[in-house]
Amino acid sequence: MRNEDKKIPYDKDLVFDVRGLKTYFPIYEGTFKKKKVNDVKAVDNVSFNVRRGETIGVVGESGCGKTTLGRSIMRLTEPTGGEVLYNLNGKMRDIRKFDEKEIFDFRKEVQMVFQDPYSALNPMRKIYDSFAEPLKAHGIETKEDLLMVMEDRLRRVNLRPEFIYRYPHEFSGGQRQRLCIARALAVSPDVVILDEPVSALDVSIQAQVINLLQAIQKELDLTYIFIAHDLSVVEYISDRIMVMYLGHIVEYADSEVLNKNPAHPYTKALLSAVPIPVVGRESKRIVLEGDVPSPIHKPSGCPFHNRCPQYLGDICKEKVPEFKDLGGGHKVACHIYD
């Protein structure tokens, strides 16, 4: 047993336990770009966990670090600091310490669906070839077995099995995203990270894809990490939601609690922009002043202080708010609750 395994209590329902994750991108200057002058702090000290079978939503404006967060916990982008513990073969291990074999097993168990279904599929290759590559890498070799798996996955996303002999340009945006979902399912993962899976699609198609994702999750007992900028979509599919701002998590709560009782001023502003589907009822829109600050030069104290409608003065400008537990797993980082 490795030392790190001894220290970490095992919880069979825990899939990910992320502790103080940081992902920074260094900025270099000088003639040979050798002098490091600063960092883009895309993900800054983020902690959360993911339990088996749940959907955890990550929401925030573009540029808040949510995609980098997804890529960091897949190790597609190398984290700078912190730990990303993953339950591999019954042991919580830091993915940054995985050897090659463990990374290979991890990538089979955790798959990712990307935002843009147009660039996710190679236009020069038939769907069969795009699907065959990961399957062969994971030991499914014979044409008979390959076809059996591919046809099963296409049926699960409501596409016809013969589509595997076509090229990506022969499909609509919604069909392509369903193909990407089918390909992610090909190697029978336990966890799927969905990065803005519906934002490139028409509104009418978005609902179909979301409903399909929910049905597949139930059938295959999957765990989802669902990343999106649209809070109404995230709320609809998620059990728990984390709200991100400028690389930090500012609030987490159960989906229903967040909807009925948002605590952070930023969450309140996001929620106020969600249309209420009741005739005659309108929500009072909270319009945030100013632009999102640069993740290179973050504001001191609370990262939201220069846009916050409930700004409390010096304390917000000078002191980073810590998380307060409001009960029932609802946590918020804001001085209002000190």
The two structure tokens encoding residue 209: 């894809």
288 belongs to the binding site for ligand SF4 (CB under 6 A): no
308 belongs to the binding site for ligand SF4 (CB under 6 A): yes
Q: Determine contact, residues 59/243, Cβ cutoff 8 Å.
A: yes
316 belongs to the binding site for ligand SF4 (CB under 6 A): yes
**Options 36-44, 59-67, 95-103, 309-317: segment touching ligand SF4 (CB under 6 A):** 309-317
Among 273, 312, 323, 326, indicate the residue that binds ligand SF4 (CB under 6 A): 312
| Count of residues in the chain | 338
272 belongs to the binding site for ligand SF4 (CB under 6 A): no
The two structure tokens encoding residue 73: 């916990």
Give the residue with the Cβ less far from ligand SF4, 16 or 245. 245
Compute CA distances 244 → 171, 250, 304, 321, whole Å: 34, 6, 11, 14
DSSP letter string, 155-219? HHTT--GGGGGS-GGGS-HHHHHHHHHHHHHTT--SEEEEESTTTTS-HHHHHHHHHHHHHHHHH
Give the residue with the Cβ less far from ligand SF4, 162 or 291. 291
Give the residue with the Cβ less far from ligand SF4, 84 or 333. 333
265 belongs to the binding site for ligand SF4 (CB under 6 A): yes
Neighbours of 276 (CB within 10 A): 10
311 belongs to the binding site for ligand SF4 (CB under 6 A): yes
Q: How far is the CB of 253 from ligand SF4 (least distance, A)?
A: 15
262 belongs to the binding site for ligand SF4 (CB under 6 A): no
The two structure tokens encoding residue 332: 């918020």
Q: How far is the CB of 42 from ligand SF4 (least distance, A)?
A: 20
Q: How far is the CB of 322 from ligand SF4 (least distance, A)?
A: 10
321 belongs to the binding site for ligand SF4 (CB under 6 A): yes
DSSP state of 281: -
**Options 30-38, 45-53, 142-150, 301-309: segment touching ligand SF4 (CB under 6 A):** 301-309
Compute CA distances 211 → 178, 197, 204, 214, 228, whole Å: 12, 12, 12, 5, 16
